[in-house]
Amino acid sequence: MNRGLEIHAVSRTFYTENGTVVPALDGVSFDAPAGQITALLGPSGCGKSSLLNIIAGFDAPDAGEVRFAGVPMGRADSHCSMVFQTPALFAWLTVAQNVEFGLKRKKLPRTEREKAVSGMLRLVGLDGFALAYPDELSGGMQQRAALARALVLRPELLLMDEPFAALDAQMREKMQDLLLELQRTLGQTILFVTHDIEEALRISSQVVVLSSRPGRVADTIPLPPAMDDAARTACRARIRAALAES
């Protein structure tokens, strides 16, 4: 059985109020292997967020199917967490309370919640900021808190929608390193949306390139585990070619 994420022939068309028809996704199929990071790369408006919304169960496809660990998604979505481009933390809750939020909804006992929250804050380097409020944190720290809030639920599948796009280059690299470290420790399957080729090359083991509207898979590119400069250059060229064709 496939333990990872399977996207099979997913299509989605939007009909706007003024009568415009927007075909956003057209027969998108790919696998995101279990325990690995797959980057979903494509130009703005090609349907990346639409696809994540479908995978997370926030929206339904017109056709096609999404499975995780062999189970159709709608039923498996409690295994899934999402991290957005803007951290979307609750401004009136402390960092610890934000991270604890989903655990409370799961009705976990208080001592277990506190243990999980402090462990996760340590893991993302926010110990010492448990009692701070989001507006007291830098953008990078807020995104760490959002990451902690998603990871504390121990999702088997983590969906990330351009999570570091709003950060400056230096902070973005730090967050990429942190994500790689956390993924090695916790072993989730991650689908990471980005429009940045270098980011995709740096963090993922497979790059799925979507063409511009309607989104179709232009190429699926496996990245070798320890890429030397020549391999990196070849993969970059293949990604660029796929984007140029689309």
How many Å apart are CA 188 and CA 154, to the nearest integer?
8
Q: Which is nearer to Mg ion, 53 or 94 (CB)?
A: 53
62 binding ligand ADP? (CB under 6 A): no
- Closest approach of Cβ 162 to Mg ion, in Å? 6
* Residue ranges with strand state E in the chain: 5-15, 21-32, 37-41, 63-68, 71-72, 80-83, 157-161, 189-194, 206-210, 217-222
**Residue 55, Cβ neighbours under 10 Å: how many?**
23
**Residue 178, Cβ neighbours under 10 Å: how many?**
18
Q: Which is nearer to Mg ion, 155 or 215 (CB)?
A: 215
Q: How many residues bind Mg ion (CB under 5 A)?
A: 2
- Closest approach of Cβ 194 to ligand ADP, in Å? 10
- 3-state SS, residue 132: coil
67 binding ligand ADP? (CB under 6 A): no
Q: How many residues bind ligand ADP (CB under 6 A)?
A: 13
Out of 28, 32, 37, 46, the only residue in the binding site for ligand ADP (CB under 6 A) is 46
With contacts defined by CB under 6 A, name the span among 37-45, 60-68, 179-187, 224-232 that binds ligand ADP: 37-45
Angle 100-105-106 from CA coordinates, rounded to 5°: 95
Site for Mg ion, residues 29 to 58, rule: CB under 5 A: 48-49
- 3-state SS, residue 108: coil
**Residues at the contact surface with Mg ion, assessed by CB under 5 A:** 48-49
**Residues at the contact surface with ligand ADP, assessed by CB under 6 A:** 14, 16, 22, 24, 42, 44-50, 213
